Each structure stands twice: as C-alpha cells, then as structure tokens.
Amino acid sequence: MNVSDLDDADLARRLRQGCLFLETGPFISRIQTSIESVQAGIALLYAGFPVHDNAPFADFHVALTRPAGLRRWFRPQVNFLFDGWTPFKPLPLEQAFAMFEWGMNWCVVNHAHKYLVLHAAVVEKGGRALIMPAPPGAGKSTLCAALVASGWRLLSDELAIISPDSGQLLPLPRPVGLKNASIDVIRTRYPDIAIGQEALDTAKGTVAHMKPPGDSVASQQLMAMPGWVLFPRYREGSALALEPFSRAATLSRLVGNAFNFTVLGRPAFECLSRLVDDSGCYSLEYSSLDEALERLDKLEVSAS
C-alpha cells in the first residue's frame, strides 16, 4: 500500500494518531502531526511511497507540533520532535513542510551509522551512480532535478548513502529540494513535474520541493555501483567546462563531505578509497543546463 492509496481522511487520521509508517529507501519513519501543510506535502510529494500498517519497528519516530501558549496564535510556529525531544529551534508555521524535510535528513545524518553518509546528490543510469558533492549555491540540486527529469534515476538530492561492506549506494529518493531561482527554472522547464508549496524567508531563502519520479520511488530498493564523482559549479555566463579531477583531491573532498567519517573511522576511509578508485572523477562548470545535460549523457555513454 502506498500513500496514494489513502484518502485524505485516512491519511489525516494516521498522521494525527502517529501511525503513519512511511518507507523511504532503507528506512521506515513513524510520523505524527496534525499540521495541514505537512499532510498536504506528504500526500503530494510522497504519493508513490509505501506505507505499513503497525510496523513492528521504525528507524525514526518524528512529530511536528505547534507550540502551546501565545506562539500557537501570534506568529505561529512549528517544532520538530525526534523521540519526543526537539533538536532544533522552532520555525514559522508556514515553513512546516520544509522543516519536516530538513528534520528527516537530520535523522539519517545523525543516526544511520550503519552506512557512510555524504552530503551529495546522487543519480543513476545504467546501474552506475553519478555522485555530486557541492557546497550551497553551486547548483547541485538544480542539476540533479534536471538530470532526473531527463531520465536519470534519483537516488537522493542531499545524501549519498553508501554500504561500507559492498561499496554500493542505497537510494533515498525523497523530494528534491529547490531554492530561490532554481524553483522557477525547473517549474518552467518541466511543467508536468509537481512542485510543492513554497516556503518563504527560510534560512536558505525560498524553498520548494519537487516530487520524485514514480520509477525512482518504485526502484528505491535497487542499489547502484559508483560510476562517477562530479563536482558541479554553476557560474552565470560561463562556458561549459568538464575537466578530470585528481583522485587524491577527490578523496580529500569526499572525506570533507562525509557526515559520519569520524564515527566509522577506518571502514569509511577504505570505502571512499574504493569508491574513488572505481569512479571517473570530474569537475563541471556550467551556465547552460542544456549543455550540461548533453555532456553528462555523453559521459554516461562513453563510460558504459
């Protein structure tokens, strides 16, 4: 059973009672909230994701609630709770769904230490993963969204999840987070793709989330082998430049992008070393999405 099989009343009841067990990639999350915008976001953007009835175990127990007292009515706010405690300061109520997404990322980063977790977007074609670590503002999520809309399979736009034992990447194809100008870029370029409600004036500016393709969700248990590591950078007016990147520098950057490298220690280093050895390593500077997509498709064909 998927989220789309629940009518609005059943979805609201499950969320209100804290019995929505949502499966995203290798994780099951028990979610509780009565906030309508979060319910609407889940109904739209998680429509194809499986839900479980009374799952015996959940990796994460989360809730989004409105504070009691004056803040419930005056400049209303929302809290994110993990196992009953609040790891973050409250945010404005209109940012509730964005807080849900950020909170779910926080759960993985801070508790999924069975895996090596990197800050990177990941897409796949032909069984090989394209891993894109990048700092904020580099255009990573925009490029990820465009690749996914052009036929690549979404594994994640934020978190590369790697098995230290096999070196394979596990999908976590949750909604793609878009910011500021990239929202209109993707909405205009791909009008048939659903994008959720915009959250204004967040710490990241204006934020909205793109619905992941149904085939990416349906394949969320299908792992991928590493194929390429790409460091993208959007620069307005720049000519397309795809250049080889040294393996030593790639390894160093991946270590810096690993959330739990120090937690895992030697297995993390060995895992990343194998990944770099097995991957083509590149930097990409671009200003035209059309040129970037065309070049990356050629990279995929030439490397397969």
Q: How many domains, the chain?
A: 2
Shared domain check, 270 and 201: yes
**What's the half-sphere exposure (Cβ side, CA atoms, 13 Å) at 179?**
12
Task: Give residue 77's domain range.
Answer: 3-111
CB 22 within 8 A of CB 31: yes
Shared domain check, 131 and 104: no
- Rounded Cα–Cα distance for residues 196 and 40 (Å): 9
Shared domain check, 55 and 124: no
Backbone dihedral region of 25: left (phi > 0), alpha (psi from -120 to 50 degrees) or beta? left
Quote the pLDDT of residue 304. Answer: 36
Shared domain check, 94 and 198: no
Shared domain check, 237 and 182: yes
- Please say whether the dihedral angle defined by the alpha carbons of residues 147, 186, 119 and 44, taken in this order, is positive or negative: negative
Q: CA dist 263 to 82, 133, 284, Å?
A: 21, 20, 31
Quote the pLDDT of residue 72. Answer: 64
- Please say whether the dihedral angle defined by the alpha carbons of residues 240, 243, 249 and 253, taken in this order, is positive or negative: positive
Read off the amino acid at residue 289: L
Q: At what angle do helices 140-149 and 181-189 cross, to 10 degrees?
A: 10
Q: Note the pTM of the prediction, 2 decimals.
A: 0.93
Shared domain check, 138 and 284: yes
Shared domain check, 201 and 67: no
Shared domain check, 56 and 122: no
Shared domain check, 280 and 200: yes
Quote the pLDDT of residue 1. Answer: 94
Shared domain check, 78 and 185: no
Which 8-state DSSP code applies to residue 67? P
Domain stop point among 84, 111, 138: 111
Number of residues that this document lists for the chain: 304
Quote the pLDDT of residue 302. Answer: 40
Per-residue pLDDT of the chain (304 residues; tens, 9 = 90+): 999 999 999 999 999 999 999 999 999 999 999 999 999 999 999 999 999 997 788 999 999 999 877 666 678 999 999 999 999 999 999 999 999 999 999 999 999 999 999 999 999 999 999 999 987 777 888 999 999 999 999 999 999 999 999 999 999 999 999 999 999 999 999 999 999 999 999 999 999 999 999 999 999 999 999 999 999 999 888 899 999 999 999 999 999 999 999 999 999 999 999 999 999 999 999 999 999 999 998 875 444 3
- Please say whether the dihedral angle defined by the alpha carbons of residues 23, 24, 30 and 31, taken in this order, is positive or negative: negative
Quote the pLDDT of residue 130. Answer: 97
Shared domain check, 283 and 174: yes
Shared domain check, 266 and 163: yes
Quote the pLDDT of residue 74. Answer: 72
Quote the pLDDT of residue 65. Answer: 96
Domain stop point among 82, 111, 140: 111
